[in-house]
Amino acid sequence: MKVNGMIRIVTILGSVRQNNNSAKALAIVNAELNKNPNVKIIGINPAELNLSLPGIKNNSGDAKWVNEQIKAADGVIIVSPEYHGSYSSVIKLVLDNLNFPALMKEKPVALVGVASGQIGAVKSIEHLRSVLSHMGAMVMPGPVSIANVDKVFNENGDCLNDLVLKRLVNLSENLLRFIKRSLLPSISFEQLSRN
């Protein structure tokens, strides 16, 4: 029942590197989301999951869990590093573990990219936007591309760049606003009329 229920945000972390910058960006987004007591965050961290390439037998149950989380999500946030001019393979692994036709259909998805280069993570974000649109997701406007990421976060994960911080906060707020205004009222109306 969505009327008075929690907003479920599923996050997908796109890096499995130790002390990765994607997780630092995601932590800021999570902190912002956590200010809202009605938000429940479910983190998909490929480093903690046993996911296989499509067609490879795997009895771990992790792919099923990922599918369940995406299916139940009101919104999704994906944070990807820029690797060789695109998004990371672990994100593709998560996406390719989703059932086909994909459960992303009509899900609002917000995108964050991190890159050590000065051009930022524009390509990973654009490639992700293309794939997610193909999957039927509603990719949110205003993705955050973080350039020169090694100078943006310190070892502790503190954000040293006010503009980046503001953009990450805005991304979180915009996604929640979109879900509250656009999705929840229609779900509530549907349930009200059925009841």
Q: What is the largest CA-CA distance in the chain?
A: 54
CB of 93 to ligand FMN, least distance (A): 15
Specify the residue, 74 or 82, whose C-beta has the smaller distance to ligand FMN.
82
List all residues 6 or more positions away from 183 whose beta carbon is below 8 Å from its beta carbon: 74, 108
Near ligand FMN in 138-177, by CB under 6 A? 149
Could you give the CA distance from residue 173 to residue 72 in angstroms, rounded to a whole number?
Answer: 20
Binding residue for ligand FMN, selected from 7, 9, 10, 22, defined by CB under 6 A: 22
Binding residue for ligand FMN, selected from 7, 10, 11, 20, defined by CB under 6 A: 20
**57 part of the interface to ligand FMN, by CB under 6 A:** no
Interface pattern 83-102 for ligand FMN (x via CB under 6 A)? xxx-----------------
Lookup: tokens for 80: 């990807």
Do residues 50 and 32 make contact, with C-beta atoms less than 8 angstroms apart?
no
Could you give the CA distance from residue 191 to residue 2 in angstroms, rounded to a whole number?
Answer: 8
Specify the residue, 87 or 178, whose C-beta has the smaller distance to ligand FMN.
87
Could you give the CA distance from residue 189 to residue 186 in angstroms, rounded to a whole number?
Answer: 5
Could you give the CA distance from residue 187 to residue 184 in angstroms, rounded to a whole number?
Answer: 5
**15 part of the interface to ligand FMN, by CB under 6 A:** yes
Specify the residue, 86 or 183, whose C-beta has the smaller distance to ligand FMN.
86
CB of 143 to ligand FMN, least distance (A): 15
**117 part of the interface to ligand FMN, by CB under 6 A:** yes
Do residues 81 and 13 make contact, with C-beta atoms less than 8 angstroms apart?
no
Could you give the CA distance from residue 25 to residue 79 in angstroms, rounded to a whole number?
Answer: 8
Specify the residue, 44 or 102, whose C-beta has the smaller distance to ligand FMN.
44
Query: Which positions touch ligand FMN (CB under 6 A)?
Result: 15, 17, 20-22, 81-85, 114-117, 149
